Amino acid sequence: MARPRSTAADQAILNATRSALVELGWSRLTMADIAARAGVAKTTLYRRWPGKSELVVDAVAVLFDELELTDRGSLQADIEGVVLSFAALLDRPETKTSLMAVVAESTHDVALRDRIRAAIVDRQKRLVLEGRARAQARGELPQDAPGESARTVDLIFDVIAGAVVHRSLVSAEAVDAEWARTFATLLVGGLAAASAG
């Protein structure tokens, strides 16, 4: 009978992966480095993850799972809050380095791209679903028409994630309270126009 996985070991491995990546960069990072930092055998890593790419994606995904959509009383304020939280997460060296590395690698690795979508993108769409449901309950947005929800959730997620990632990581500009307010105003206005149309 197989022994159960150790949550403490998993956490140590994910932490070691992020710190090693920040220090060494993608090209120099090895499973041996990660195992040594985590204090586990390489075989322990390979039992859990088939390779470096999968391990780094999971190490990044755990960071994104920290994001929450706090109820700030209105759709506008909720969007501002999640944008600022997302930007703060992207500003952490371990998030920035890990995310940029796996996205770069995924440009020529379809399986890695699929893993990023499943482990990070699809899991974080929960924030959009939660925010829309809350706004609909407040009467700020109409209820979904049949078949509309999935398309709209995808679009809202792409707009928010795309704008914040581009500004933070590509343009290297600040995502501050003023920018978040302006962005949220545009998004809420667009959602209202789309609902009215």
Tell me: the pLDDT tens digits for 38-71? 999 999 999 999 999 899 999 999 999 999 999 9
Decide if 89 contacts 164 (C-beta within 8 A).
no
Domains assigned to the chain? 7-51 (1.10.10.60), 61-196 (1.10.357.10)
pLDDT (0 to 100) of residue 84:
97
pLDDT (0 to 100) of residue 26:
86
Tell me which of 76-90, 101-115, 158-172 is least confident.
Answer: 101-115
pLDDT (0 to 100) of residue 139:
92
Decide if 63 contacts 86 (C-beta within 8 A).
no
| Average pLDDT value for the chain | 91
Q: How confident is the model at residue 81 (pLDDT cuts 50, 70, 90)?
A: very high
Q: How confident is the model at residue 166 (pLDDT cuts 50, 70, 90)?
A: very high
Q: How confident is the model at residue 144 (pLDDT cuts 50, 70, 90)?
A: confident
Query: Can you tell me the mean pLDDT for 119-144?
Result: 92
pLDDT (0 to 100) of residue 19:
93
Q: Does 3 have pLDDT greater than 60?
A: no
pLDDT (0 to 100) of residue 191:
84
Rounded to an integer, what distance in angstroms lies between the CA atom of residue 159 and that of residue 162?
5
Q: How confident is the model at residue 2 (pLDDT cuts 50, 70, 90)?
A: very low
Which distant-in-sequence residues (6+ apart) come within 8 Å of 34 by Cβ?
A: 13, 16, 17, 20, 45, 52, 55
Decide if 102 contacts 57 (C-beta within 8 A).
yes
For the whole model, what pTM was predicted? Answer: 0.87
Measured between alpha carbons, how far is residue 81 from residues 63, 67, 69, 115, 174 in Å?
17, 10, 7, 27, 15
